[in-house]
Amino acid sequence: MTMQLPRSARAGRRVPVSPPLRAGRKVWLRDVTPADHRTLACFDREARGEATLAGGYRHWAAHRAGAGDSGDAQFAIETLRGGMLVGSVSSIQADPRSHRFSYGIGIGAPHRRCGYASDAITVLLAVMFWERGYRTCEVSIYGGNIASLSLHGALGFREEGRVRDTELSRDGVRYVVRMAISAPEFAARHPNAISATPGAGERGRHWRPRRGRHWDT
């Protein structure tokens, strides 16, 4: 009998142990490699003209050589079953002084509506809050993007305001919705997400948020 290697192994990438670090229910976040260029660039071509967060998101532009010099976290999104690259995510506008950050995420068109986006966002927030000590995540979403607004609401983001944009006009909508979630809010809503990040295993399922200045609201 011939055994078939997982797709990620056949492609020459390291197969994650089970369970891998920075993993959710369906996906895990790994480093972006040059071998991902073709797939991510293909996702970009398919997504032209679309905008999930205000300003849109372009996979390879976010991860090209030198893009990580700002210190932002950058990850490929790979499925736990099958080792398939389905998108990418990166923190943006991360400010260590104010402890605030935002992020961009993109899921390839063939892999949408599978729960990968919400899973990847949850893991990224755990990384930024737990590993890197940030305390607030803020996003700006085009007001007509009901799917994205609903997604962030389900994740625990709260609306902070609406900014009128005279240059933005789609279907009569001329505003951007600002949403945010704090580290304590995230920990209360997703208590099990922290255990998926490196160094959190010793805390177990009864983990409580760290105190101190990084967690003050």
| Confidence check: pLDDT of 37 > 80 | yes
**Does some domain include residue 165?**
yes
**Does some domain include residue 6?**
no
The structural domain count of the chain equals 1
Q: Which domain holds residue 81?
A: 19-195
CATH number, residue 112? 3.40.630.30
For residues 140 and 176, the answer to whether their CB atoms sit within 8 Å is yes
pLDDT tens string 153-188: 999 999 999 988 766 555 566 789 999 999 999 999
Confidence of residue 73 (pLDDT cuts 50, 70, 90): confident
pLDDT tens string 7-33: 544 455 554 444 567 999 999 999 999
| Confidence check: pLDDT of 77 > 90 | yes
**Does some domain include residue 216?**
no
The two tokens of residue 74 are 């950058």
**Does some domain include residue 63?**
yes
| Confidence check: pLDDT of 53 > 60 | no
Please name the amino acid found at residue 205.
Answer: R
**Does some domain include residue 130?**
yes
What integer is the mean pLDDT of 187-196?
A: 81
How far is the C-alpha of 161 from the C-alpha of 122, rounded, in Å? 22
**Does some domain include residue 60?**
yes
pLDDT above 90 coverage of the chain, percent: 47
E-only strand ranges, the chain? 27-30, 74-79, 85-95, 100-107, 136-142, 158-164, 175-182
For residues 20 and 28, the answer to whether their CB atoms sit within 8 Å is yes
**Does some domain include residue 2?**
no
**Does some domain include residue 203?**
no
